[in-house]
Structure 1
Amino acid sequence: MKSILREIIRSPQFPEHGAWVRRSFAPNEAIINEGELGSSLFLIESGSVRVTGRVDLENRSAVRAGICDLDAGSLFGEICLYQPHPRSASVIALTDVVLIEVDGQRLAIFLDAHPVEGYLLLKELFMALGERLDLANHRVEKLFAWGLKAHGIEEHL
């Protein structure tokens, strides 16, 4: 993902401080919060982040479950590429992190005007989302199997 997006960021038609900005975060600092309306996506230039989701428990308490850790070259917040959207997870810095925050609407306009770069970015994005979906499916299968075993239900199948 980083290769084509880096090329786009270097383009004179996609200026820094207009279409994108470089931001730094300290360890444990919140980058985005689940539920907030977002309009940008992020490329990790250096460091590591943790993606977390809120899990509500039966006793009305909640925990923040780690979904995954992402490193340099990874992209997150891509759901906001074409329109503002509530953030589906929270992201915190695990280490000192430098991010490139890209305005989703400005990127969409650029991709429309530059169809080759648009195709290449969407192709990479589609492949990355496919990998994430596969990982999520495997996790659901494992959690389902664990739940069946924990409740003794597998004996009845």
Structure 2
Amino acid sequence: MLQHPEFIEGRHWRKARYDANTPIFSEGDSGRELYLVLDGTLRVLGKLDLDAQRHIQPGFGELGPRDIFGELVLFDEMTRSATVMTVSESELAVLDGDELLRFLDAHPEIGYPLLKELMTVMVGRLRKANQRIFSLFAWGLKSKGLDTLL
């Protein structure tokens, strides 16, 4: 899609380079851009408050070339749900979410396959999240000795 003659670099999207250990955005930020990894490795982090004074940032996963993130901006106007930080020097395609939606509306022959691919990515991430929830639930039961009651 980045090569489509009507999806113009500089208007609809731009390339950006980031040094290692650079935050792209943080959980709670507002934003209307989504990103395609062209080169490099990035880490997706969450924020977990253990109590009023203690916080940790567990990693949810890593992203590499051809991975997309920030795609939720296409579906709602909520703040960012995670922090994304570069692990290595990285090059990203930064897409304006509103411009992308207008482009996809004008080109449904491109829009449908792209949205279908995005849904495939999102479903895979949801399945992984469900597995993590089940694992944490099982760990909690075991830590309390409740797993023997089942």
TM over 0.5: same fold?
yes
SS in 1 for 2:53: coil
Alignment partner of 2:5 out of 12, 23, 45: 12
- Which structure 2 residue ranges, 5 or more long, are not aligned? none
Instruction: Please report the TM-score for the alignment, with normalisation by the length of structure 2.
Output: 0.95
1:16 aligned partner, one-letter code: E
Instruction: Please report the TM-score for the alignment, with normalisation by the length of structure 1.
Output: 0.91
Alignment partner of 2:39 out of 37, 40, 46: 46
Q: Deviations over 1:25-57 (max 9, x none)?
A: 111111111101010100000011000000010
- For 2:126 and 2:113, the matched residues in 1 are separated by 20
Indicate conservation of the 8 Å contact 1:83/1:104, yes or no: no
- Bigger proportion of residues as helix: 1
Alignment partner of 1:116 out of 106, 109, 114: 109
Indicate conservation of the 8 Å contact 1:33/1:87, yes or no: yes
- For 1:132 and 1:22, the matched residues in 2 are separated by 25
Match of 2:55 in 1: 62
Offset at 1:59? 5.0
- For 2:91 and 2:133, the matched residues in 1 are separated by 32
Alignment of 1:31 with 2:24, yes or no, is: yes
Q: Which runs of 4+ in 1 moved over 6 A?
A: none
Match of 1:91 in 2: 84
Offset at 1:85? 2.9
Question: Size of the alignment, in residue pairs?
Answer: 150
Offset at 1:79? 0.5
Indicate conservation of the 8 Å contact 1:49/1:69, yes or no: yes
Offset at 1:82? 4.7
1:17 aligned partner, one-letter code: G
C-alpha RMSD of the superposition: 1.2
1:87 aligned partner, one-letter code: R
Indicate conservation of the 8 Å contact 1:37/1:85, yes or no: yes
Alignment of 1:137 with 2:95, yes or no, is: no
Alignment partner of 1:80 out of 46, 51, 73: 73
Q: Deviations over 1:92-139 (max 9, x none)?
A: 000110000000000000000000100000110111111111111111
Give the % identical residues: 39
- For 1:145 and 1:108, the matched residues in 2 are separated by 41
